[in-house]
Structures are given as structure tokens and as C-alpha cells.
Amino acid sequence: CLIHFIKRTMTKLGKQRRKKSYNYGSNKRRLKMKDQRKTKYGVVVENDILKQNWDRKKSVNANLQSLGVASDANQVVKKIKSVKNQFIESRLGPVPEETSAASTKSSQVVEKLEKEAKESKKAPTFRFSNEQVLWITYLMDKHKQDYKAMARDPRNHYQETPGAIRQKIRRFISIPDHFVPYCRERGLLDQIKDSEG
């Protein structure tokens, strides 16, 4: 009886071969690349500082931990503690932190990354769209400094509040690329030159 049971469950080689038919519709190269990306060897590190210190034998999380960079920001940021817990910890005193060779290496990497981030900061380049510039200049020409009247103006399609309009006008004035042409068109720059000269 046992022999019959085994015979029924075992498949014939011909059936197995028929099941393994080649799938012409799949792109084998793309599938291989997709599989490689999921492994720790397929990680592409674009930052030069991290690339120099990256160990291909380690996983992504292990690499980031050894370099002193957080892989999950939620684990790094301390949770807000209750007043009771803060009181208990202040009574016990501060907990001493351990320093090792790995932490000195990671601190050097973090210092380099911070330095690179500070150097690469760019000045903010916010600009209003052309329609917004036309709308703001229209309001400034028609209502001068009356922000409540600007808010009630029929061209205020988005129903901006007087405070929001005031902020937009202040920002408009702080951007020379917008405000200088506005002053030139209305002859305000000529008046300033005449009063100085």
C-alpha cells in the first residue's frame, strides 16, 4: 500500500520538463538587475565620502551604523519623556557613553559629511510666477498699503486673507528680481536718484 502512495505523489520527468518552459516574454537582464539591487552587493552609493568608507561585505544597515549615519531617523531621535521620567533620570545622573575605534572612524565620516553639507548650501531662489507678480503689482498699484481692501478685491480669486497678502507683498519686495523692475516701470528709482542728487 505504501508503494502505491509514493507512486501517486511522484511526478514523471516528462511532466516536470513540460512545466519548465522558457518564458520568452520576460527580460532576463532586467530581472537579474532587479535581483542584484535587492542584495547588499547591488547597493549603489553615490556620495563620495560614503563610497570611500563603504564595505561591500556588510549590509546597508551595518554599513550606515559603522559610519555613524542613521538608517532610520526614528531610532536616533530621542522620544519625548514624561516629567516623571525626567525627574527620575536627573536624580540618577547622566549615563556615561562608551567610545571605541569604530566610533572615532564614524565621527570622522560624519564630520566630513557635515562639512560637505555646509559648503553645498545654496541661497534660496524662490520666485513668484508671472501671474502672481501681475496680481501683486495690480494690488499694490490699486490699493497701496490697504491690505483689507486687497482681500476684498474681486481679483482675489483664492480668497487670500489680509495677513497672507501682506506676507506675499513683503516677500515680493524682498526679491530684487521682482521689485526692481516694478520700481523702474513706475519711475520710483528715478525719484530716489533725484532726491539723493
The predicted structure's pLDDT at residue 39:
78
Q: Is the model's pLDDT at 192 over the cut of 70?
A: no
119-144 tens-digit pLDDT: 887 776 889 999 999 999 999 999 99
Quickly state the pLDDT bin for 4 (edges 50, 70, 90).
very low
Please state whether the predicted TM-score (pTM) of the whole model is above 0.85: no
pLDDT at 1 over 50: no
pLDDT given at position 196 = 66
The percentage of residues in the chain with a pLDDT greater than 70, rounded to a whole number, is 82
- For 17-30, what is the mean pLDDT? 85
Pairwise pLDDT comparison (66 vs 78), residue with the higher score: 66
Least reliable range by pLDDT among 14-28, 70-84, 126-140, 142-156: 70-84
Higher pLDDT, 111 or 79: 111
- Judge contact between 133 and 178, C-beta under 8 A: yes
Q: State the pLDDT at residue 11.
A: 62
Would you state the pLDDT for residue 75? 81
pLDDT band of 36, cuts 50, 70, 90:
confident
3 φ, ψ (degrees, to nearest 5): -65, -40
Q: Which residues contact 128 (CB under 8 A, 6 or more apart)?
A: 136, 168, 171, 172, 175, 178
